Structure 1
């Protein structure tokens, strides 16, 4: 069985359903990725690396992880902190805007819980995934410990995967984000950026310039997500390949488009599925997800959909 570890934050999600009503659930970019990976590839052992509190929301969150068959061995408990919270509003095109409350989030202190014993457990994995949001949420004074851990995992043969997922409001400055991202680019075996991330942070708005910018880092597998238009892949030192995405006419909520793509793509690659076939599966899954409200689609609906995919 393949072992996948994902470090990040799961938050309390509040979705506006009417003028005075909100629906509560749980979500977060890395957690969403874990859910869609596990739902699509049940044979992968998926473990979330995060921290929660002891409050009722945290207890319900942990139960939700278990209900999704996501391992909780590395879900740590804080005596003083609680999960972060965000609300989401959608416009008529399914595009979203967020309001966050995460200053007291337990996940910010996750590195306090990771010692040599936990690093040894992570080193036995096949793949370790984190995002730009993961990096931003980790307390600045703990980032050296984070990079030391990543170095040890990479030396142990664990494949390092990074999705920049740049969110300006989480960083003190663009330069702070750039410095951390450069470390991630050097460490990553697989990179899953969106063109919108690079446009915001580096003023790069096309795949060709992104490939040129990232060339010095020697990334083995580069999967560039160009929104609803295409995915550009560069792997095995080959020429870039563009995969055209089939347009979705009924876009309801784009919240977890990239996360669901990441989860299915990485699960496919862990199962030996070729890069372009993995992109095809991931694109179809993302297209399905954005036709539903919320970051996490109803489990029964998604499982019915996933049966239509060719996963071998």
Structure 2
């Protein structure tokens, strides 16, 4: 019997506070790649795939609760570092009447920023056993320059031995010195990935000059990446394999958007789950759209397990 595929997703999980009626706050946990890891683990139950989360936490009660929650979701945590005296970051979500979310962050001393401060991280030590590495623009942004270098080096090393690398362009301007700095690191990430998941609005936001959506789509599809997936919100998702014409995939229509938190993260989980189980890119995009269309009808980044759509892989 062959060993399960091992997928590692690296990033930051934070304490999430959701503002509810009367000024009450509900505490959960979230972060872009962690959200993807949770949905990926749920979708791949029963398949020979191990989902691993890679981050640094503290030695506080919130960190312990995070680890327990991830393990309850079937996520492997042996690549997580717990750093003495450190704590996770925190963010608050406020949602307007249209379902659009607004974030406030407290993350300057987040433990995740220090993941690569040890001589050899658990990720680097286990690299020969990892089949797929998934990271995002936020994964890069929270790290100091030396940590970014080590993450990209790990990605390149994994590809050299035949592994796959997925990069999600999730762009948060406040995490970068400026857009030029972000573009520099993104170009390097695209150069060492096999699949690029691109939110077109984020791509436009970090462009060197004003660009139309039409031109931004052309630019994204021309990236030197074997597999490009362009997410356009309520418009068609566009997928392109190297040497093949792009394909458009209709989004999932919903009657009411409640909260767009984790829409892109859940799409990434659906897309990757489908690709790992042998589906083609168009089918994978449809799976991602189905999951994202369900997630945006619920509050918060992680919906209840019983609210998951019936997706067969």
TM-score range, shorter chain: over 0.9
Q: CA deviation at 1:228?
A: 1.4
For structure 1, the 5+ residue unaligned runs are none
Contact 2:250 2:286 in 1 (8 A): no
Instruction: Give the secondary-structure state (helix, strand or coil) at the position aligned to 1:242.
Output: strand
Match of 1:310 in 2: 312
Instruction: Give the secondary-structure state (helix, strand or coil) at the position aligned to 1:98.
Output: strand
Match of 2:194 among 189, 195, 214: 189
Task: For 1:168-183, list aligned pairs within 5 A.
Answer: 168-183=173-188
- Using the size of structure 2 for normalisation, the TM-score is 0.93
Between 1 and 2, higher relative CO (CA 8 Å, sep ≥ 6) is seen in 1
Q: CA deviation at 1:140?
A: 2.4
Match of 1:5 among 8, 11, 14: 8
Task: For 1:66-215, list aligned pairs within 5 A.
Answer: 66-113=71-118, 115=120, 118-202=123-207, 203-206=210-213, 209-212=216-219, 215=222
Provide the C-alpha distance between the structure 1 equivalents of 2:121 and 2:161, rounded to a whole number of angstroms: 14
Match of 1:30 in 2: 33
- Aligned-residue RMSD, C-alpha: 1.6
Provide the C-alpha distance between the structure 2 equivalents of 1:138 and 1:167, rounded to a whole number of angstroms: 13
Match of 2:240 in 1: 234
Q: CA deviation at 1:53?
A: 0.2
Moved more, 146-155 or 168-177: 146-155
Instruction: Give the secondary-structure state (helix, strand or coil) at the position aligned to 1:255.
Output: coil
Contact 2:229 2:239 in 1 (8 A): yes
Change beyond 3 A, Cα 1:118–1:260: closer
Contact 1:34 1:46 in 2 (8 A): yes
Q: CA deviation at 1:213?
A: 5.2
Aligned length: 306
- Using the size of structure 1 for normalisation, the TM-score is 0.94
Provide the C-alpha distance between the structure 2 equivalents of 1:116 and 1:11, rounded to a whole number of angstroms: 20
Match of 2:68 in 1: 63
